[in-house]
Chains A and B, each alone.
Chain A
Amino acid sequence: MSITYIEAIREAQARALAEDPRVFIYGQDIGSFGGAFKATKNLANDYPGRVMDAPISEDAIIGLGVGAAIEGRRPIIEMQYADFSTVAFNQIVNQAATLFWRTNVPCPITIRLPCGGTSGSGPFHSQTMESIYAHYPGLVVMTPATVEDAYSMLLEAVAIDDPVVFCEHKLLYYHLKADKLPNEALPTGKARIARQGRDMTIVAYSAMVHEALAAADELATEGSQVEVVDLRSVKPLDTDTVMASVARTGRLLCVGESWPWGGVTAEVIARVASEGFGLLDAPPQRLNAKDTPVPYHPNLWAVHRPTARSIAVAARNVLRK
């Protein structure tokens, strides 16, 4: 039996609905249709009245979630694509994220964002939004890279009393498979060492973890042992694990699929440079998507985002210094 990343997300939602009567799911096309990516397949059937189709009103969708959360519900909101969450940006960052700080009343809303590019999806069906949301205080931002984390972290997101932006990666939905669902997981806020190595550290998250692992395999044939750190959540960001890895290797490359200016990669490097300066044997580097909207054509798309190949080139540069 094998289970895909999207099936794991579905299973987590099913379990949340089963175990906690306060949970309901709200989003576009998620009812009998089962969602644009089938993340809620059959759930409307199994839990009548608790998996509801919304109109195309992202602002009101999140606002409704906040209101329900104030009244003690645990809403899971599915945005059809992460890219459309900008229509709800105000409600996410000004309503949901500030509620607890302003009123001492928590806002336990989970917002699922299908993130990331797939070939041919173009500028508005490809964005990764973790950097923008991580910037705002009051939000937890998760970026699961594995089938197991997609499952466990979504369950934890629902249980957390704060608004969680859950960044799922569309490229992993059907392509990533695991043998079974896990019984336990690292807690949110802890990064995972996806691969051990002594020569350099690559910090990555979401789909980029897999690209980094492939790059590490390529570098292993050249005699370099690369350590890959999977952040799992970008906020909170596990500085300790990253720092410990750099303490072992002395060299750092941070890879992210979002744009260069002020994203997760910039944050990681800023932390390592200011708190771990004396650990670095070479200048830390980062690799991001190109500073343009995500292009449509596969030729352009293939070069726009970091890939195993471009990560390997960047890694060699870091090793060479």
Chain B
Amino acid sequence: MLLARVLDDKFASLYRAGKIHGGVFLGRGQEALSVAMGMVLRPGDVFAPLIRDAAGRLAFGEPILDAVRTYLGSALGPMRAREGNVHRGRPKEGLLPMISHLGAMISVVNGALLARRFKGDTEAIGAASIGDGATSTGAFHEALNQAAVEKLPLIVVVANNQYAYSTPTERQFACRSLADRAVGYGMEPQTVDGTDLGSCLKALGRAAEAARNGRGPQLIVANLLRLCGHGEHDDANYVLQKLKSSPLGRDCLKVAEEELQCRNWADANTIAAWRGESVQKVEEAVAMVQREPGPDPFKENWCALASKHLSEGGGEV
């Protein structure tokens, strides 16, 4: 969580320094939920993170260099600078790179899980991260229905951070709670306080176990507040003050640090040291990547097909 927060803060300052092309999307406030997802997943599982899942990605095992390289446009990144910021992944390692159309990744996780089933892999589960806004898409609806019909071991984690860009939840859905939708699909729901790391870990743990035991797809709806703009280009002045000062608006990182100290599992110095390590890791990564080259348009093969012989004019600029 700490590393994710430090990394996000770094991207924010790089953005303000003009060093990043395109958008920057942070997960401030969602680290607890996201990290819980990454931690219940094991190597061999399938994970489709979205735009605020720095913590979850790190927990799942994504190297920090992937994030830094993709944001800074290094040719050595996993997407080879053909995609940027949060649009990154390693499909062969179960980490699916998102496309911008919200909801579209969930059915892809379904397909991956189905393929595992064909291979006789009964252990693997999948998790898809999604926001309150994306639950309105047709793709979301189709995918949850499909997962339930196929009884796939899928966990859908909805981070209800109260806003989809500038749209508050009362303009996004009319049901009492997003968790109620689970019944409609035939999924098992849970609602959780997204600001509390302990609750998140418990909920994800229960869902993962249910999925691994063949109980079909799980829906987790976590309530929290987005503590940053939709992107760093957005100052989020539409977020209601009353939400910010409510328990929903607590910073999960602070809550976790307080809890650790409360339970004497770590003291302030230890936490400061951890923060220092994170800062160092991030700074080293950034320093290294800033020396790396961007893509050379004249060395690109400009071919979108794996079968080169079927490409028209591929290989020429």
Contacts and interface: CB of A to CB of B under 8 A. Distances in A.
B111 A69 contact: yes
Contact of B108 (A66, A106, A160, A162): A66
Nearest to B80: A104
A103 B97 contact: yes
B142 interface: yes
A295 interface: no
Nearest to A134: B312
Contacts of B101: 90, 94
B1 to A, nearest CB: 28
Interface residues of B, number: 46
A102 to B, nearest CB: 5
Interface string B83-115: 100010111100011011100111111111111
A134 B101 CA distance: 21
Interface in A61-119: 61-73, 75, 90-91, 94-95, 97-106
Interface in B63-99: 78-80, 82-83, 87, 89-92, 96-97, 99
B203 to A, nearest CB: 25
A140 B104 contact: no
Interface in A146-162: 160-162
Given A60-B146, A140-B305, A162 B89 contact: no
Contact of B89 (A54, A66, A103): A103
Nearest to B97: A103
Contacts of B87: 102
Nearest to A271: B312
Interface in B223-269: none
A55 B89 contact: no
Contacts of A61: 107, 146
Contacts of A75: 111
A34 B307 CA distance: 32
A70 B87 CA distance: 17
A138 B111 contact: no
| Residue among B110, B113, B309 with max Cβ neighbours from chain A (10 Å) | B110
Contacts of B273: none
B138 interface: yes
Given A60-B143, A60-B145, A103-B78, A71 B111 contact: yes
A275 B306 CA distance: 27
A188 interface: yes
Given A63-B111, A66-B111, A71-B115, A102 B83 contact: yes
Contacts of B298: none
Interface of A: 24, 50, 54-55, 57-73, 75, 90-91, 94-95, 97-106, 137-138, 140, 160-162, 188-189, 235-237
Interface of B: 46, 78-80, 82-83, 87, 89-92, 96-97, 99-101, 104-116, 118-119, 138-139, 142-143, 145-146, 149, 304-307, 309-312
11 contacts: A55-B142, A60-B142, A64-B114, A67-B109, A67-B112, A68-B115, A70-B115, A102-B97, A103-B91, A189-B309, A236-B312
Top 5 closest A-B pairs, CB basis?
A67-B111, A63-B107, A71-B115, A57-B142, A60-B142
Given A64-B107, A189-B310, 8 more contacts: A60-B110, A63-B111, A66-B111, A67-B96, A68-B115, A94-B99, A236-B311, A236-B312
